Amino acid sequence: MVNSLEAMVAGKLKKIDAQNLRRGLKPTERFDHAVVCRGGKKAISFCCNDYLNLSTHPAVKEASKVVLENFGLGSGASRLVTGNTPFNGRVEQRLARLKGSESALVFGSGYLANMGVIPALIGPNDLIVMDELSHACMYGGAQLSGAKIVLFKHNDPSDCQSRLAEHRKNYERCLMLTEGVFSMDGDLAPLADLSDLAKEFDAWLMTDDAHGLGVLGDGRGTVAHWNGKGCNVDVPLQMGTLSKAVGAYGGYICASQKVIDFLVNRARTVIFTTGLPPAVLAGVDKALEIIETDKKLANQPVEKAKLFTSLLGLPDAQSSIVPVVLGDEERALKASAQLEKEGFLITAIRPPTVPAGTARLRLTFCAEHKEEDIHRLASLFKTMELVA
Ligand SMILES: Cc1ncc(COP(=O)(O)O)c(C=O)c1O
């Protein structure tokens, strides 16, 4: 008898292979100073999101270790039962202070935050207007909400305005979604314009600041970045992750106290899931303390990214992320393999993570990257003719 499950996946995998889109999980060990080991060979990683290298910071590890010894590994239950270790509250207070909001709520991951917050606030009679390049988990939360989803052209406030003008009047409530720093392109959302549009159309602006916290606005994220430039950006819903510059794991939303109280009652990805391990939260608390107090550290990833773009004559990096778009999947895979041979780990990013025809090398810069390595990498990009 034909096993229909096996036959289905075999057929689909064949198609994925033919398109050069097969993904696989490669064991990779990560060490201090952005060094990784894959297949027995060491390389310098230019594709981790640990922008401040806090995942290996001695004080962060120590804070986590002490709590692990005292409280064990798991949190044992949902936060609403017995899984609400006091470290949640400490982290939430720090996040609210950093982001300039009244309150905050921690989730199991950034993905879970978007999957919980969006459907809790907005439903089938409502409208979501979102940047077309928003992250998969913003799409996931939007789809789960059942709201009408309208996309606007990437970072184009006038297209966003047209969409709002056309659709807003037909729906009771409206949520606007964008990333603060776009994860695959490294560019920043025009938050001042979007914030004005949100006011004009009575929409609630929500940012995913996964790549802004710890890196922009002296570590406080994209809203602080724009307001530091004299803009008047007001974002009532600032979502983010603890897995990138914070160097750990978890997600969060910063908002008013009333919104947070409501989410505790309605966000299914807080209610029906186990709380984060206490040792992870203790490490996060220490990492956030470092971000709050060490502004010099926070500015380093963008400085390093700018060094790379200047060496190659590329447009100035706006964040710690620099995309080098190669177009073709095969070309991106080959370039990544060649760079790995030369001692640099830069994973090829292919559709559906990025739009068709825009396969790329996505470089991420972190505080501990050495200048000489960035020079060596830029020379390789020149000799491999990866930039025009
Ligand atoms: C923009 C953006 N949002 C959300 C996430 C998900 O966060 P987490 O890894 O904490 O689930 C990511 C990356 O993983 C991201 O790049």
**Superfamily for the 23-56+295-383 domain:** Aspartate Aminotransferase, domain 1 (3.90.1150.10)
Q: Helix, strand, coil shares of the chain as percentages rounded to 5? A: 45, 20, 35
For the stretch 206-225, what's the b/e string if a residue is b when 16 or more beta carbons lie within 10 angstroms of its beta carbon?
Answer: bbbbbbbbbbbbbbbbbbbb
Average pLDDT over residues 340-348: 96
**What pLDDT score does 20 carry?**
87
Rounded Cα–Cα distance for residues 176 and 122 (Å): 11
- Residue 388: predicted pLDDT: 79
Q: What pLDDT, on a 0 to 100 scale, did the predictor assign at position 65? A: 98
Ligand 1 atom 10, closest CA: 110
- Ligand 1 atom at minimal distance to the Cα of residue 137: 4
For the cut 80, the answer to whether the pLDDT of residue 353 exceeds it is yes
DSSP 253-281: EEE-HHHHHHHHHH-HHHHTSBPPPHHHH
Give, using CA atoms, the residue closest to atom 3 of ligand 1. Answer: 210
Alpha carbon of 138 to ligand 1 centroid (Å): 9
Question: pLDDT tens digits for 53-63?
Answer: 999 999 999 99
Burial track 288-325 (b if 16+ CB lie within 10 A, e otherwise)? bebbeeeeebbebbbebbbbbbeebebeebbbbbbbbb
Q: What does pLDDT average to over the chain?
A: 97
Distance 241 CA to ligand 1 centre (A): 6
Question: Quick one: average pLDDT of 357-386?
Answer: 97
Q: What would the pLDDT profile of 136-189 be if each residue is shown by its tens digit?
A: 999 999 999 999 999 999 999 999 999 999 999 999 999 999 999 999 999 999
Report the amino acid identity of residue 97.
Answer: R
Question: Tokens 């706006």 correspond to what residue?
Answer: 318
Question: How many Å lie between the centroid of ligand 1 and the Cα of residue 111?
Answer: 6
Stretch 268-272: mean pLDDT, rounded?
Answer: 98
Q: Is the pLDDT of residue 93 over 80?
A: yes
Residue 202 gets the label, from left (phi > 0), alpha (psi -120 to 50) or beta, of left
**62-73 pLDDT tens trace:** 999 999 999 999
What letter represents residue 61's amino acid?
Answer: K
Give the whole-angstrom CA distance, residue 313 versus residue 325.
15
DSSP code at position 348: E
List all residues whose CB is within 6 A of at least one atom of ligand 1. Answer: 109-111, 135, 137, 179, 183, 208, 210, 241, 243, 251
Report the candidate in 372, 384, 355 with the shortest Cα–Cα distance to residue 307. 372
Q: Which residue has the CA at smallest separation from atom 4 of ligand 1? A: 110
Active site residues: 49, 135, 179, 183, 208, 211, 244
Burial of 274 (0-12, 13-18, 19+ CB in 10 A): middle
Kindly indicate the confidence band of residue 88, based on its pLDDT and cuts at 50, 70 and 90: very high
The mean pLDDT value for 47-56 works out to 97
The predicted structure's pLDDT at residue 323: 97
> Which H or E run includes 41?
strand 41-45
The protein residue with its alpha carbon nearest to ligand 1, atom 16, reads 183
Question: What is the residue extent of each domain of the chain?
Answer: 23-56+295-383, 63-293
> 359 CA to middle of ligand 1, Å?
19
Candidates 264, 272, 273; CA nearest to 120 is 264
Q: In angstroms, rounded to a whole number, what is the distance separating the alpha carbons of residues 84 and 91?
A: 12
Give the separation between CA 194 and CA 156, rounded to whole angstroms. 9
Which one of 114, 130, 183 would you pick to mutate in the ligand 1 pocket, going by the greatest count of ligand atoms within 8 A of its CB? Answer: 183
pLDDT at 341 (0 to 100): 95
The atom number, within ligand 1, closest to the CA of 114 reads: 4
The angle, 0 to 180 degrees and rounded to 10, between the axes of the packed helices 295-312 and 278-293 is 80
**pLDDT tens digits for range 8-42:** 999 999 999 999 889 999 999 999 989 999 989 99
194-238 confidence digits (pLDDT tens): 999 999 999 999 999 999 999 999 999 999 999 999 999 999 999
Q: Which fold has domain 63-293?
A: Aspartate Aminotransferase; domain 2 (3.40.640)
Over residues 87-106, the mean pLDDT reads 98
Has residue 2 got a pLDDT over 90?
A: no
109: CA distance to ligand 1 center in Å?
Answer: 8
